[in-house]
Amino acid sequence: MLNRKSLLLSLLSMVFVSGVAFASNLTERNIYGILSDNFSGALQERGQSTDNIRLNVWAESAPPSPTLMENDPTGKEGWTYMKFTCLRKGATGVAAGGWSGVSYCFVKSDNSTAQPTDISHFRYLDFWIRLEHGSLTQLKVGITSVGQDCTKSMSNYVNNTEGEWQHVVVDLTTLGANLSSVTNAFLILCNDLTVDTTFSVDNIVLRTADSSSANFNITLKNVETMQNIPSNPNGNIIWKESVFHNDWQAACQYIELDMDKYSCAWTVRIYTNNGGTGRGGMWAQGTEREYVIPMCWRATKVELKNQPGKESYIIAQSTASHHNLYDAGLSQGVDEGYYTWFYMKDRADLNFNDAGDLDYITVWDSSLGFHGEVNAVGKGYYDFQSINRKPRIYFGGGFNEAAGGITYVGNVVLEYNLE
Protein backbone atom coordinates (compact mmCIF):
# COMPACT_ATOMS: atom_id res chain seq x y z
CA MET A 1 0.00 0.00 0.00
CA LEU A 2 1.42 3.37 -1.00
CA ASN A 3 0.69 6.15 1.46
CA ARG A 4 1.51 9.81 1.01
CA LYS A 5 1.50 12.58 3.57
CA SER A 6 2.29 16.11 2.53
CA LEU A 7 3.37 19.07 4.61
CA LEU A 8 3.00 22.62 3.33
CA LEU A 9 6.10 24.69 4.01
CA SER A 10 5.67 28.45 3.92
CA LEU A 11 8.29 31.12 4.41
CA LEU A 12 6.36 33.34 6.78
CA SER A 13 7.42 36.35 8.85
CA MET A 14 10.96 35.86 10.09
CA VAL A 15 10.89 35.36 13.86
CA PHE A 16 13.16 33.98 16.55
CA VAL A 17 12.00 30.85 18.26
CA SER A 18 12.56 30.69 21.79
CA GLY A 19 15.04 18.08 27.48
CA VAL A 20 12.79 15.68 27.05
CA ALA A 21 11.81 13.79 30.22
CA PHE A 22 12.45 10.06 30.34
CA ALA A 23 9.44 7.76 30.38
CA SER A 24 9.09 4.02 29.97
CA ASN A 25 7.85 2.87 26.56
CA LEU A 26 6.49 -0.44 27.86
CA THR A 27 2.85 0.61 28.07
CA GLU A 28 2.87 3.36 25.47
CA ARG A 29 3.97 1.62 22.30
CA ASN A 30 2.49 -0.95 19.94
CA ILE A 31 6.01 -2.11 19.06
CA TYR A 32 8.79 -2.27 21.67
CA GLY A 33 12.34 -2.91 20.48
CA ILE A 34 14.56 -5.39 22.33
CA LEU A 35 17.24 -5.57 19.61
CA SER A 36 16.26 -3.22 16.82
CA ASP A 37 17.77 -0.49 14.65
CA ASN A 38 14.39 1.05 13.86
CA PHE A 39 11.87 0.42 16.63
CA SER A 40 12.11 2.42 19.88
CA GLY A 41 12.32 0.47 23.11
CA ALA A 42 14.95 -0.82 25.52
CA LEU A 43 18.46 0.54 26.02
CA GLN A 44 21.39 -1.84 26.22
CA GLU A 45 22.64 -1.22 29.79
CA ARG A 46 22.21 2.52 29.42
CA GLY A 47 18.59 3.03 30.40
CA GLN A 48 16.56 3.62 33.50
CA SER A 49 13.98 1.53 35.30
CA THR A 50 12.20 -1.01 33.09
CA ASP A 51 13.75 0.15 29.83
CA ASN A 52 17.22 -1.03 30.84
CA ILE A 53 18.19 -4.36 29.29
CA ARG A 54 21.31 -6.53 29.21
CA LEU A 55 22.58 -9.35 27.02
CA ASN A 56 23.40 -12.49 29.03
CA VAL A 57 25.13 -15.68 27.90
CA TRP A 58 25.74 -18.73 30.08
CA ALA A 59 26.70 -22.40 29.97
CA GLU A 60 27.77 -25.29 32.15
CA SER A 61 31.31 -24.75 30.93
CA ALA A 62 31.76 -22.96 27.56
CA PRO A 63 29.16 -20.17 27.13
CA PRO A 64 27.86 -19.14 23.72
CA SER A 65 30.14 -16.71 21.94
CA PRO A 66 28.26 -13.47 21.12
CA THR A 67 29.35 -11.18 18.29
CA LEU A 68 27.79 -7.82 17.48
CA MET A 69 27.65 -7.54 13.70
CA GLU A 70 27.92 -3.88 12.67
CA ASN A 71 27.82 -2.16 9.28
CA ASP A 72 26.65 -5.45 7.82
CA PRO A 73 24.17 -5.13 4.94
CA THR A 74 23.16 -8.82 5.26
CA GLY A 75 21.13 -8.09 8.40
CA LYS A 76 17.37 -8.35 8.21
CA GLU A 77 16.82 -4.88 9.64
CA GLY A 78 19.22 -1.96 9.62
CA TRP A 79 22.96 -2.56 9.85
CA THR A 80 23.38 -4.32 13.21
CA TYR A 81 22.46 -7.75 14.51
CA MET A 82 23.80 -10.40 16.93
CA LYS A 83 25.51 -13.67 16.10
CA PHE A 84 25.96 -16.55 18.58
CA THR A 85 27.93 -19.80 18.50
CA CYS A 86 26.86 -22.61 20.86
CA LEU A 87 28.96 -25.76 21.23
CA ARG A 88 27.52 -29.28 21.12
CA LYS A 89 27.33 -31.52 24.15
CA GLY A 90 30.66 -33.30 24.63
CA ALA A 91 32.66 -30.85 22.50
CA THR A 92 36.07 -29.78 23.75
CA GLY A 93 35.56 -27.72 26.88
CA VAL A 94 31.86 -28.59 27.17
CA ALA A 95 30.68 -30.70 30.08
CA ALA A 96 28.50 -33.75 29.57
CA GLY A 97 25.30 -31.88 30.36
CA GLY A 98 25.93 -29.28 27.70
CA TRP A 99 23.39 -26.67 28.87
CA SER A 100 23.75 -23.11 27.66
CA GLY A 101 21.70 -20.15 26.54
CA VAL A 102 21.36 -16.47 25.64
CA SER A 103 18.89 -13.84 26.76
CA TYR A 104 18.03 -10.16 26.90
CA CYS A 105 17.19 -9.49 30.53
CA PHE A 106 15.57 -6.45 32.12
CA VAL A 107 17.97 -5.13 34.78
CA LYS A 108 17.94 -2.37 37.36
CA SER A 109 19.23 1.03 36.31
CA ASP A 110 22.62 0.35 37.92
CA ASN A 111 22.87 -2.88 35.83
CA SER A 112 23.31 -4.89 39.04
CA THR A 113 20.45 -7.40 39.17
CA ALA A 114 17.43 -8.53 37.19
CA GLN A 115 14.40 -6.24 37.23
CA PRO A 116 11.06 -8.14 37.07
CA THR A 117 8.96 -6.22 34.56
CA ASP A 118 5.32 -6.21 33.45
CA ILE A 119 5.09 -6.91 29.70
CA SER A 120 1.40 -7.93 29.72
CA HIS A 121 0.70 -4.96 27.42
CA PHE A 122 2.14 -7.10 24.61
CA ARG A 123 0.91 -10.30 22.99
CA TYR A 124 3.79 -11.45 20.76
CA LEU A 125 7.54 -11.94 20.91
CA ASP A 126 8.62 -11.32 17.32
CA PHE A 127 12.09 -11.72 15.78
CA TRP A 128 14.12 -12.95 12.83
CA ILE A 129 16.70 -15.73 13.01
CA ARG A 130 19.21 -17.07 10.52
CA LEU A 131 21.05 -20.38 10.77
CA GLU A 132 24.70 -20.04 9.86
CA HIS A 133 25.63 -23.64 10.72
CA GLY A 134 24.19 -26.47 12.82
CA SER A 135 20.58 -26.96 13.94
CA LEU A 136 17.98 -24.36 14.88
CA THR A 137 15.34 -26.99 15.61
CA GLN A 138 17.26 -28.18 18.68
CA LEU A 139 16.92 -24.76 20.31
CA LYS A 140 14.12 -23.53 22.57
CA VAL A 141 12.71 -20.00 22.60
CA GLY A 142 10.61 -18.02 25.06
CA ILE A 143 10.89 -15.82 28.15
CA THR A 144 11.67 -16.14 31.87
CA SER A 145 8.87 -15.33 34.28
CA VAL A 146 9.03 -15.46 38.11
CA GLY A 147 12.27 -17.43 37.89
CA GLN A 148 10.77 -20.00 35.51
CA ASP A 149 11.89 -20.47 31.89
CA CYS A 150 8.79 -20.65 29.71
CA THR A 151 9.79 -21.90 26.27
CA LYS A 152 8.77 -23.77 23.15
CA SER A 153 10.83 -25.78 20.71
CA MET A 154 12.13 -23.79 17.76
CA SER A 155 11.06 -26.72 15.60
CA ASN A 156 7.55 -25.25 15.89
CA TYR A 157 8.66 -22.15 14.01
CA VAL A 158 11.66 -22.77 11.74
CA ASN A 159 13.57 -25.31 9.68
CA ASN A 160 17.30 -25.92 9.38
CA THR A 161 17.87 -24.13 6.10
CA GLU A 162 21.21 -22.34 6.34
CA GLY A 163 21.77 -18.72 5.33
CA GLU A 164 18.09 -17.70 5.21
CA TRP A 165 16.36 -15.25 7.56
CA GLN A 166 13.24 -16.87 9.08
CA HIS A 167 10.47 -14.97 10.85
CA VAL A 168 9.44 -16.23 14.31
CA VAL A 169 6.28 -15.07 16.10
CA VAL A 170 5.75 -16.49 19.59
CA ASP A 171 2.32 -16.00 21.15
CA LEU A 172 3.22 -15.05 24.73
CA THR A 173 -0.16 -16.19 26.04
CA THR A 174 0.63 -19.79 25.06
CA LEU A 175 3.76 -20.03 27.22
CA GLY A 176 1.97 -20.42 30.56
CA ALA A 177 3.94 -17.46 31.91
CA ASN A 178 3.10 -14.67 34.32
CA LEU A 179 3.56 -11.74 31.95
CA SER A 180 3.39 -9.21 34.78
CA SER A 181 6.75 -10.34 36.17
CA VAL A 182 9.26 -11.07 33.39
CA THR A 183 13.04 -10.87 33.61
CA ASN A 184 14.22 -12.39 30.31
CA ALA A 185 12.16 -10.73 27.59
CA PHE A 186 13.93 -12.89 25.00
CA LEU A 187 15.38 -16.30 25.80
CA ILE A 188 17.00 -19.02 23.68
CA LEU A 189 18.13 -22.27 25.32
CA CYS A 190 20.84 -24.29 23.59
CA ASN A 191 20.82 -27.34 25.86
CA ASP A 192 22.33 -30.69 24.85
CA LEU A 193 23.07 -29.79 21.24
CA THR A 194 24.30 -32.65 19.10
CA VAL A 195 26.03 -30.31 16.67
CA ASP A 196 27.89 -27.00 17.06
CA THR A 197 25.40 -24.31 16.09
CA THR A 198 25.90 -20.73 14.97
CA PHE A 199 22.87 -18.49 14.46
CA SER A 200 22.10 -14.79 14.04
CA VAL A 201 19.14 -12.87 15.46
CA ASP A 202 17.76 -9.49 14.39
CA ASN A 203 14.77 -7.20 14.91
CA ILE A 204 13.68 -8.63 18.27
CA VAL A 205 10.50 -6.83 19.38
CA LEU A 206 7.50 -7.17 21.62
CA ARG A 207 4.26 -6.20 19.91
CA THR A 208 0.58 -5.91 20.72
CA ALA A 209 -2.14 -8.11 19.28
CA ASP A 210 -4.12 -5.37 17.57
CA SER A 211 -2.09 -3.16 15.28
CA SER A 212 -5.12 -1.27 13.93
CA SER A 213 -4.35 1.70 16.19
CA ALA A 214 -0.65 1.63 15.35
CA ASN A 215 0.79 4.39 13.26
CA PHE A 216 3.67 5.72 11.27
CA ASN A 217 3.71 9.06 13.07
CA ILE A 218 4.89 12.36 11.58
CA THR A 219 5.34 15.17 14.11
CA LEU A 220 6.45 18.77 13.63
CA LYS A 221 8.81 19.90 16.42
CA ASN A 222 10.80 22.91 17.55
CA VAL A 223 14.57 22.61 16.97
CA GLU A 224 15.60 24.31 20.21
CA THR A 225 13.11 22.72 22.61
CA MET A 226 12.52 19.47 20.69
CA GLN A 227 8.86 19.77 21.71
CA ASN A 228 5.72 19.42 19.58
CA ILE A 229 4.25 22.55 17.99
CA PRO A 230 0.49 22.28 18.63
CA SER A 231 -0.05 25.96 17.77
CA ASN A 232 1.14 25.34 14.22
CA PRO A 233 -1.44 22.88 12.87
CA ASN A 234 -0.90 23.71 9.20
CA GLY A 235 2.69 22.55 9.27
CA ASN A 236 4.23 25.94 8.47
CA ILE A 237 8.00 25.97 8.91
CA ILE A 238 9.80 29.22 9.58
CA TRP A 239 13.38 30.48 9.46
CA LYS A 240 15.03 32.88 11.89
CA GLU A 241 15.21 36.59 11.17
CA SER A 242 18.99 36.32 10.83
CA VAL A 243 18.53 34.04 7.83
CA PHE A 244 19.16 36.89 5.37
CA HIS A 245 22.67 37.32 6.72
CA ASN A 246 23.65 33.88 5.45
CA ASP A 247 23.25 31.95 2.27
CA TRP A 248 22.19 28.49 3.52
CA GLN A 249 20.54 28.08 6.90
CA ALA A 250 18.46 25.46 8.70
CA ALA A 251 14.85 26.11 9.65
CA CYS A 252 13.59 26.46 13.22
CA GLN A 253 11.41 23.36 13.02
CA TYR A 254 12.03 19.76 12.08
CA ILE A 255 9.93 16.67 11.44
CA GLU A 256 10.20 13.58 13.62
CA LEU A 257 9.27 10.17 12.21
CA ASP A 258 8.23 7.31 14.47
CA MET A 259 7.52 3.78 13.26
CA ASP A 260 5.09 2.26 15.78
CA LYS A 261 3.35 -0.12 13.40
CA TYR A 262 4.85 -3.52 12.70
CA SER A 263 6.02 -3.95 9.15
CA CYS A 264 8.82 -6.11 7.83
CA ALA A 265 9.73 -3.43 5.30
CA TRP A 266 9.06 0.21 4.57
CA THR A 267 10.55 3.12 2.68
CA VAL A 268 10.13 6.87 3.27
CA ARG A 269 10.93 9.37 0.53
CA ILE A 270 10.90 13.16 0.43
CA TYR A 271 10.54 15.63 -2.43
CA THR A 272 8.66 18.79 -3.37
CA ASN A 273 5.64 18.83 -5.64
CA ASN A 274 5.49 22.42 -6.86
CA GLY A 275 4.08 21.83 -10.32
CA GLY A 276 7.10 22.43 -12.51
CA THR A 277 10.69 21.51 -13.19
CA GLY A 278 13.45 23.29 -11.32
CA ARG A 279 11.22 24.03 -8.35
CA GLY A 280 12.96 21.89 -5.73
CA GLY A 281 12.38 24.34 -2.92
CA MET A 282 10.13 27.32 -2.23
CA TRP A 283 9.00 29.53 -5.07
CA ALA A 284 7.54 33.01 -5.28
CA GLN A 285 3.82 33.65 -5.15
CA GLY A 286 2.06 36.37 -7.16
CA THR A 287 5.05 37.65 -9.08
CA GLU A 288 5.95 37.68 -12.74
CA ARG A 289 9.48 36.55 -12.02
CA GLU A 290 9.78 33.05 -10.63
CA TYR A 291 12.10 33.63 -7.69
CA VAL A 292 13.11 30.27 -6.24
CA ILE A 293 14.65 29.57 -2.85
CA PRO A 294 16.40 26.20 -3.11
CA MET A 295 15.92 23.83 -0.21
CA CYS A 296 17.81 20.92 1.30
CA TRP A 297 17.05 18.24 3.86
CA ARG A 298 18.89 16.09 6.33
CA ALA A 299 17.77 12.99 8.28
CA THR A 300 19.72 12.37 11.47
CA LYS A 301 19.49 11.67 15.18
CA VAL A 302 21.93 14.54 15.83
CA GLU A 303 20.40 17.41 17.83
CA LEU A 304 20.78 20.50 15.69
CA LYS A 305 20.51 22.86 18.67
CA ASN A 306 22.38 26.07 19.28
CA GLN A 307 24.93 26.56 22.02
CA PRO A 308 26.72 29.80 22.94
CA GLY A 309 29.37 30.57 20.36
CA LYS A 310 28.30 27.74 18.07
CA GLU A 311 25.77 28.65 15.40
CA SER A 312 24.51 25.23 14.37
CA TYR A 313 21.88 26.59 12.00
CA ILE A 314 24.50 27.56 9.43
CA ILE A 315 24.93 25.25 6.43
CA ALA A 316 28.07 25.67 4.34
CA GLN A 317 28.42 25.15 0.62
CA SER A 318 31.67 23.54 -0.43
CA THR A 319 33.84 24.85 -3.21
CA ALA A 320 34.29 21.33 -4.52
CA SER A 321 32.39 19.86 -7.43
CA HIS A 322 28.58 20.02 -7.25
CA HIS A 323 28.85 22.54 -4.36
CA ASN A 324 27.76 19.97 -1.79
CA LEU A 325 26.24 21.16 1.50
CA TYR A 326 27.65 20.32 4.91
CA ASP A 327 27.35 21.48 8.52
CA ALA A 328 29.34 24.55 9.46
CA GLY A 329 28.20 24.67 13.09
CA LEU A 330 27.35 22.38 15.97
CA SER A 331 26.84 18.79 14.76
CA GLN A 332 28.72 15.99 13.11
CA GLY A 333 30.65 16.42 9.89
CA VAL A 334 32.29 19.82 9.89
CA ASP A 335 34.51 19.36 6.88
CA GLU A 336 33.79 19.72 3.19
CA GLY A 337 34.26 16.01 2.59
CA TYR A 338 31.25 15.08 4.71
CA TYR A 339 28.07 16.06 2.90
CA THR A 340 25.24 15.75 5.39
CA TRP A 341 22.61 17.76 3.51
CA PHE A 342 20.78 16.73 0.34
CA TYR A 343 19.33 19.16 -2.19
CA MET A 344 15.54 18.99 -2.35
CA LYS A 345 14.32 17.54 -5.64
CA ASP A 346 10.96 18.29 -7.21
CA ARG A 347 8.70 15.50 -8.42
CA ALA A 348 8.79 16.94 -11.94
CA ASP A 349 12.57 16.48 -12.00
CA LEU A 350 12.53 12.88 -10.75
CA ASN A 351 12.62 9.62 -12.65
CA PHE A 352 10.96 7.10 -10.33
CA ASN A 353 12.40 4.27 -12.42
CA ASP A 354 15.94 5.46 -11.77
CA ALA A 355 17.65 3.93 -8.74
CA GLY A 356 19.95 6.94 -8.41
CA ASP A 357 17.04 9.36 -8.15
CA LEU A 358 15.23 7.15 -5.64
CA ASP A 359 18.34 6.81 -3.50
CA TYR A 360 18.75 10.58 -3.42
CA ILE A 361 15.23 11.19 -2.07
CA THR A 362 15.10 8.21 0.32
CA VAL A 363 14.94 9.33 3.94
CA TRP A 364 14.47 6.01 5.75
CA ASP A 365 14.59 2.40 4.69
CA SER A 366 13.90 -0.44 7.13
CA SER A 367 16.75 -2.57 5.86
CA LEU A 368 19.32 0.16 5.20
CA GLY A 369 18.64 2.72 7.91
CA PHE A 370 18.40 6.39 7.04
CA HIS A 371 20.48 8.99 5.25
CA GLY A 372 22.54 11.60 7.04
CA GLU A 373 24.77 9.40 9.21
CA VAL A 374 27.17 8.23 6.54
CA ASN A 375 29.29 5.21 7.41
CA ALA A 376 32.11 3.46 5.59
CA VAL A 377 29.79 1.82 3.10
CA GLY A 378 27.96 5.02 2.30
CA LYS A 379 24.63 4.45 4.04
CA GLY A 380 23.11 5.73 7.24
CA TYR A 381 22.21 3.46 10.13
CA TYR A 382 20.88 3.64 13.67
CA ASP A 383 22.74 2.88 16.86
CA PHE A 384 20.47 0.11 18.14
CA GLN A 385 21.44 1.03 21.72
CA SER A 386 19.64 4.36 21.41
CA ILE A 387 16.12 4.41 22.82
CA ASN A 388 15.07 7.18 20.43
CA ARG A 389 15.09 5.50 17.04
CA LYS A 390 13.18 8.33 15.44
CA PRO A 391 14.78 10.10 12.48
CA ARG A 392 14.72 13.87 12.60
CA ILE A 393 14.28 15.54 9.22
CA TYR A 394 15.78 19.01 9.22
CA PHE A 395 15.21 21.54 6.44
CA GLY A 396 17.51 24.19 5.03
CA GLY A 397 17.08 27.01 2.57
CA GLY A 398 19.45 28.99 0.38
CA PHE A 399 18.54 32.65 0.81
CA ASN A 400 21.37 34.35 -1.03
CA GLU A 401 19.06 35.72 -3.73
CA ALA A 402 15.86 36.02 -1.69
CA ALA A 403 13.86 39.14 -2.47
CA GLY A 404 12.01 41.01 0.26
CA GLY A 405 8.26 41.53 0.29
CA ILE A 406 7.53 38.22 -1.46
CA THR A 407 5.86 35.12 -0.03
CA TYR A 408 7.61 31.87 -0.92
CA VAL A 409 5.78 28.54 -0.66
CA GLY A 410 6.94 24.98 -1.12
CA ASN A 411 4.86 21.83 -0.95
CA VAL A 412 6.94 19.03 0.58
CA VAL A 413 5.72 15.45 0.22
CA LEU A 414 6.69 12.67 2.61
CA GLU A 415 5.85 9.45 0.81
CA TYR A 416 5.97 6.17 2.70
CA ASN A 417 5.41 2.69 1.41
CA LEU A 418 4.55 0.01 3.96
CA GLU A 419 4.75 -3.66 3.01
Residue-wise pLDDT for 60-94, tens only, equals 777 888 998 887 888 898 778 999 999 888 777 66
Q: So what's the pLDDT on residue 159?
A: 97
For 151, the 3-state DSSP assignment is strand
Q: Which residues of 200-238 are buried (b: 16+ CB within 10 A; e: fewer)?
A: bbbbbbbbbeeeeebebebebebbeeeeebeeeeebbbb
Q: Residue 75: which of 332, 379, 361 has the closest Cα?
A: 379
What is the arithmetic mean of pLDDT over 337-363? 85
Structure pTM?
0.83
More confident residue, 193 or 340: 193
More confident residue, 344 or 47: 344
Confidence of residue 13 (pLDDT cuts 50, 70, 90): very low
Poorest-pLDDT segment among 133-147, 208-222, 332-346: 332-346
The mean predicted confidence, pLDDT, of the chain is: 79
More confident residue, 42 or 127: 127
**390: CB partners within 8 A, 6+ apart:** 40, 256, 257, 258, 301
More confident residue, 285 or 133: 133
Confidence of residue 183 (pLDDT cuts 50, 70, 90): very high
Distance, CA of 30 to CA of 258 (rounded, Å): 11
Which amino acid does the sequence have at 300? T
Task: Let me know the angle formed at the C-alpha of 73 by 46 and 187, rounded to the nearest 5 degrees.
Answer: 45
